[in-house]
Structure formats: C-alpha cells, structure tokens
C-alpha cells in the first residue's frame, strides 16, 4: 500500500470521509487512491478558496472535519482567506497540502515555497510526513488535533504518496469537550444575583438550540440581557427559541448596545473588539467600568455551563420564547428590507441560511426571527467570499435540508466558481444575489474612517458598474438555472419556484437602496 492509499483509508476510518479538492501534479497519487477507497467522497472545486470555504461549511453543520486537498504552497495560499474564516469560527478541518518529492525539493523548483511556515499562520497543528511509514500515524494525529475545533495541515511530499510501505492506522477516540469548573459557574451566578446591569454574550456552542434555551432561562430569571457575537459560526434560530440580538457590527452601534453594562459574561464567546480601528473611537465596545467574566471559553462545554448556571441563578424560571410569525409578503420595489421580508415569509422549515449579505442584510434577522426553525451561518472572520463555498459545504453535509445563500454581489465574485460545483453536485442551494452594483460596505467605511472626499477617482474603486455584472449569464454558464428579480413580487415568485425544485438555483435580486 502506498502512502496516499494509507492516508485516505486512515481518514475514512477516523470519520473524515469528504474531501473538497483542487489537486495538481504533486497530488496525483492521492487522486488515484480515491478509486481504492470508495468511501471517501471527493468534491472537485475550481479554486482552492472554494475548497476551504466548503470544508468550513461542512464542519459547521456536522461538527466534524472534512479534508481539503490543496496543491503546494501557492494552492494553499489561494485558500487562505477562507482558512482564516474557518479558524475564527473554530471549524475543524484537515488540510492535505501536496509538496515536491523529497529529492526534488532541494532544487528550488518554480513552485517551491515554505509551506510549513505559511500553514502555521492559520493552523493549530502542522506536520510534514517524512516517509510512507509515517503517513497513517500523522493522519490520526491530525484528526485528533482538531477534535474540539481547529485546523490541521498535513504536508505530503509526492514521493511519500507514491512509495509503498504504508499501512492504515486505527483512529483514536474523540475527547469530549472540557467541562467548566463549578467554582466558575458559582462566581458568575453571584454576579447575576447582584443589582448591576449584566449582559450575557453567547458564541460557539452556546448559540445552539440547547444553549439558547438555557441562556433564555437565565435571562428570564435574572433580568440580564442576552446577546450573541456579531458573527457566530452557527446559530439556531426561529420560533420556539428565545429572542436574542446580535452585537452590532458598526462601532458606534456596538458601543451604544453595551452602554451602561457593568458586567459582561462570556459564554463560548471572546471579549468583543471592533473589526477595525477608527479615528477617535476606542478599539472595543466594552464600557471602561464594565467587568468581563468568563463562563466558558470557545471549545469548552458551554451548554453544560449554561445549564449549570441556570440551575443556580434561575432554577424556577421559564425562558420567553418567540412565537411563530411571518412578515406579510411585500409588493413594489425591491429593497434590502423588502428582500428580507420575502425571505422571512417563505423561509422553509429546517433551512440552512448562509449569510453574506453584508450591507444588504438590513432587516434579515428581525424578519426571519419567527420563521420555522432553521440554522444561520455567518461570516466569522470577515474575509469576504465565504458564502458561496460555505453553502456548498453545508449542502454536502445536509443533503436533506434546503440551503439558502444570501450573497452580496461584490463578495460573490471572489469565489463565483463555486456555482460550478453547486451544479456538478446538484446541491440543493438557492443563492440570492444582493445586486446593488457596488461595494456598499466600503462606501460606509470610507466615511467612517474620515476619508470621504466625494472624489470621482475614489468612487470608481467602490462601484461595480462599467460593465455591470450579469449574474444570470454567469450562473447559467456554469450550469445553474438563474433568474432576475426587480420587484418584491418577482422575488417571491422566483424563490417559491427555486425552493420547490431540487438542485441549485440563483436569483439575481436587483436592489434599490
């Protein structure tokens, strides 16, 4: 058995049975070995950023890693933005990065690079397999290293793949998430028992269904306010769950949201900071006289900690739950808010919403809060271009659930080739392009940083016209049925049709601001 065969067999035995791939010459023996291990599902992507973003979406929906197959250092570099998002969201992932054969590496070939050094910037575990006999043990260690979230990168020289002498290795048992110490829970319960304003900020597993119900019990019994991180990796939402607001993205709004808070309790979240520094604005929204308390760190069992806290601080309380409700279907012009109303009115039960709407997301959270139960995936690391790939990974992970991608137009172009993989896999994904013809978020940022000057040359760098982007033609050219909506009625009709038919669809929603 060669190294590639042993690697794939070991991965499958350890529960890693999906690989999002963009291979090259150094990975050809891995590709060939897929026929020897048919249990491994390989999904071809046309760009490495699609492979890494899809693995992120898959991990968020299954809680276990997918593999990626990347070509040398430049291929890994192409996938780096969505590796950053996955790292920020603590998604488990195992990257296999092919490298030159050991005898060839010293010759400084044109594609030679320091893979190990670059991989260390986003990986919690990096190793290079030095012989076929090492591959299986390295694979087992890689999977074990990401059990509670994180990215492992295994560098696989081409000759280690093709040489014989390898054997698969048995997987390790998965360690359960660490438990929070009772003394920590007791300390937070004492804070909640005081008379000063408290905000309970949730992230990680704390925004799962069980986490939200426990948190809702706590806030119902103590009067604390409930919020989530700005961009949680995966949030359970919909009727029958507590109402929870997100910490806003704009710094002035985030500061206002936490104003007056004397105690900030973190459950699966980290202390919030603004995405960027701005003139005259503090780097974080937490008030200076606010004490931050850590209930559970990301990776710890936050749900168990919240349940224990509820038992101490609010044993008899019942969470206030959102009643089922839908907005009325709007009519007339298509704006970000009427788009949100259409989505809220038609969102199917058990949907997976992949949200990269950015500035076009006005009203989305509000108008979908009472919809049937669904999951919401957000842009955790802020590196745009994750939406289309993440939808692919979510659809592969949950083929029995509809996926709706709400996708800004500018960021869609970063990884637009994901649509080809949507079509190739016949994934049940409906993509709604928020087509406002601009990098609207940067127009806001230009003013926020104090750089706005109404200059024509600056404006051209934030405008997507000249030529405009024809998303219907782009999608159809990659095998995805596509339509264009210019009114709320058209969007509703097209969304109904897309949700009723299997396979991928794209709706170009032309928005007026």
What SS3 string covers 357-403? Answer: CHHHHCCHHHHHCCCCCEEEECCCCCCCCCHHHHHHHHHHHCCCCCE
The answer to whether the CB of 406 falls within 8 A of the CB of 354 is yes
Cis amide prior to 357 (ω within 30 degrees): no
Other C-beta atoms closer than 10 Å to the C-beta of 172 total 12
Helix (H/G/I), strand (E/B), else coil: 420: helix
Phi-psi domain of 204 (left: phi exceeds 0; alpha: psi -120 through 50; beta: other): left
Least confident stretch, 108-117, 209-218, 378-387, 438-447: 438-447
- The structural domains of the chain, with segments of one domain joined by +, span 3-162, 182-313, 336-510
> Can you give the pLDDT at residue 464?
73
Residue 448 has pLDDT above 70, yes or no: no
Other C-beta atoms closer than 10 Å to the C-beta of 500 total 9
- What mean pLDDT do residues 62-66 have? 96
Predicted confidence band at 451 (pLDDT cuts at 50, 70, 90)? low
Residue 459 has pLDDT above 70, yes or no: no
- Domain boundaries 336-510, corresponding CATH code: 3.40.50.970
User: 181-211 burial by CB neighbour count: b if 16+ within 10 A, else e?
Assistant: eeebbeebbebbeeeebbbbbbbbbbbbbeb
Residue 457 has pLDDT above 90, yes or no: no
Q: Residue 214 and residue 157: Cα distance in Å, rounded?
A: 48
The answer to whether the CB of 433 falls within 8 A of the CB of 357 is no
Cβ burial of 455 (10 Å; 0-12, 13-18, 19+) is exposed
Give, for 507, the enclosing helix (H) or strand (E): strand 505-510
The answer to whether the CB of 403 falls within 8 A of the CB of 391 is yes
Do the two domains 182-313 and 336-510 of this chain adopt the same fold? Answer: yes
- What mean pLDDT do residues 360-375 have? 96
- What mean pLDDT do residues 407-429 have? 97
> Can you give the pLDDT at residue 468?
87
> Can you give the pLDDT at residue 380?
95
- What mean pLDDT do residues 238-245 have? 96
- What mean pLDDT do residues 245-253 have? 95
Give the full edge-to-edge strand order of the sheet including 18-21.
41-44, 18-21, 66-71, 93-99, 151-157, 125-128
Average pLDDT score over the chain = 95
pLDDT digits 0-9 by tens, 286-345: 999 999 999 999 999 999 999 999 999 999 999 999 999 999 999 999 999 999 999 999
Of 254, 248, 201, the closest CA to residue 224 belongs to 201
> Can you give the pLDDT at residue 202?
98
Residue 261 has pLDDT above 90, yes or no: yes
The answer to whether the CB of 230 falls within 8 A of the CB of 249 is yes
What percentage of the chain exceeds 70 in pLDDT? 95
- What mean pLDDT do residues 32-56 have? 97
Predicted confidence band at 443 (pLDDT cuts at 50, 70, 90)? low
pLDDT digits 0-9 by tens, 87-135: 999 999 999 999 999 999 999 999 999 999 999 999 999 999 999 999 9
- 332 vs 456, residue with greater confidence: 332
> Can you give the pLDDT at residue 440?
62
Residue 159 has pLDDT above 80, yes or no: yes
> Can you give the pLDDT at residue 446?
64
For the CA atoms of 368, 413, 250, 191, the dihedral, rounded to the nearest 10 degrees, stands at 60
Q: Residue 407 and residue 156: Cα distance in Å, rounded?
A: 35
Q: Does domain 3-162 have CATH number 3.40.50.970?
A: yes
Predicted confidence band at 439 (pLDDT cuts at 50, 70, 90)? low
- Which are the contacts of 464, defined by CB distance < 8 A and separation ≥ 6? 409, 410, 437, 438, 439
Give, for 489, the enclosing helix (H) or strand (E): helix 488-500
- What mean pLDDT do residues 469-491 have? 98
Residue 425 has pLDDT above 70, yes or no: yes
Residue 444 has pLDDT above 70, yes or no: no
pLDDT digits 0-9 by tens, 165-212: 999 999 998 888 999 999 999 999 999 999 999 999 999 999 999 999
Q: Residue 50 and residue 39: Cα distance in Å, rounded?
A: 22
User: 434-446 burial by CB neighbour count: b if 16+ within 10 A, else e?
Assistant: bbbbbbbbebbbb
> Can you give the pLDDT at residue 38?
96
> Can you give the pLDDT at residue 512?
85
Q: Residue 155 and residue 27: Cα distance in Å, rounded?
A: 11
Q: Residue 378 and residue 231: Cα distance in Å, rounded?
A: 5
Chain centroid to Cα 284, Å, comes to 23
Residue 460 has pLDDT above 80, yes or no: no
CATH fold of 182-313 reads Rossmann fold (3.40.50)
Q: For 260, what's the count of Cα atoms within 13 Å in the CB-facing half-sphere?
A: 7
**Beta-sheet pairing, 482-485 with 505-510:** parallel
Tell me which DSSP letter residue 141 carries. Answer: H
The answer to whether the CB of 102 falls within 8 A of the CB of 91 is no
Which residues, in sequence order, are bridge partners of residue 95? 68, 153
């Amino acid at each position: 058995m060669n190294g590639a065969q042993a690697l794939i067999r070991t991965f499958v035995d350890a529960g890693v049975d999906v690989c999002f791939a963009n291979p090259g010459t150094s990975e050809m023996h891995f590709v060939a070995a897929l026929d020897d291990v048919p249990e491994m599902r390989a999904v071809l992507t046309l760009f490495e950023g699609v492979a890494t973003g899809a693995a992120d979406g898959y991990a968020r929906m299954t809680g276990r890693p997918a593999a990626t197959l990347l070509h040398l250092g430049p291929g890994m570099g192409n996938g780096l933005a969505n590796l950053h998002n996955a790292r920020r969201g603590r998604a488990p992932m195992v990257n296999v990065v092919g490298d030159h054969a050991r005898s060839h590496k010293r010759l400084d070939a044109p594609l030679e690079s320091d893979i190990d050094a670059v991989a260390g910037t986003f990986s919690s575990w990096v190793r290079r397999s030095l012989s076929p006999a090492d591959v299986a043990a390295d694979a087992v260690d890689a999977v074990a290293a990401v059990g509670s979230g994180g990215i492992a990168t295994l560098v696989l020289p081409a000759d280690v793949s093709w040489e014989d002498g390898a054997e698969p290795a048995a997987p390790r048992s998965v360690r359960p998430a660490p438990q929070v110490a009772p003394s920590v829970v007791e300390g937070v319960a004492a804070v909640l028992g005081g008379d000063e304003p408290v905000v309970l900020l949730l992230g990680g597993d704390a925004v799962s269904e069980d986490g939200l119900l426990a948190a809702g019990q706590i806030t119902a019994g103590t009067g604390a306010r409930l919020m989530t991180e700005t961009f949680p990796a995966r949030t359970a939402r919909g009727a029958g769950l507590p109402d929870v607001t997100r910490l806003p993205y704009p710094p002035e709004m985030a500061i206002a949201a936490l104003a007056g808070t004397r105690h900030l309790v973190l459950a699966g979240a980290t202390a919030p900071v603004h995405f960027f520094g701005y003139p005259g604005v503090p780097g974080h929204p937490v008030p200076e006289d606010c004490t931050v308390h850590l209930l559970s760190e990301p990776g710890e069992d936050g749900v168990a900690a919240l349940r224990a806290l509820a038992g101490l601080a609010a044993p008899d309380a019942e969470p206030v739950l959102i009643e089922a409700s839908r907005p009325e279907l709007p009519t007339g012009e298509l704006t970000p808010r009427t788009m949100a109303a259409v989505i809220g009115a038609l969102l199917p039960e058990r949907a997976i919403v992949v949200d990269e709407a950015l500035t076009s997301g006005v009203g989305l959270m509000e108008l979908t809060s009472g919809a049937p139960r669904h999951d919401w995936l957000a842009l955790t690391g802020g590196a745009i271009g994750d939406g289309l790939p993440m939808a692919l990974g979510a659809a592969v992970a949950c083929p029995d659930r509809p996926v709706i991608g709400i996708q800004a137009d500018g960021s869609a172009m970063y990884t637009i080739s994901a649509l080809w993989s949507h079509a190739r896999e016949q994934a049940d994904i409906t993509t709604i392009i928020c087509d406002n013809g601009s990098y609207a978020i940067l127009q806001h940022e230009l003013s926020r940083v104090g750089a706005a000057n109404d200059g024509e040359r600056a404006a051209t760098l934030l405008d997507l016209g000249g030529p405009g982007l024809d998303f219907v033609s782009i999608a159809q050219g990659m095998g995805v049925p596509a339509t264009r909506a210019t009114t709320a009625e058209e969007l509703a009709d097209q969304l109904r049709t897309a949700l009723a038919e299997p396979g991928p669809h794209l709706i170009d929603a032309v928005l007026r601001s």
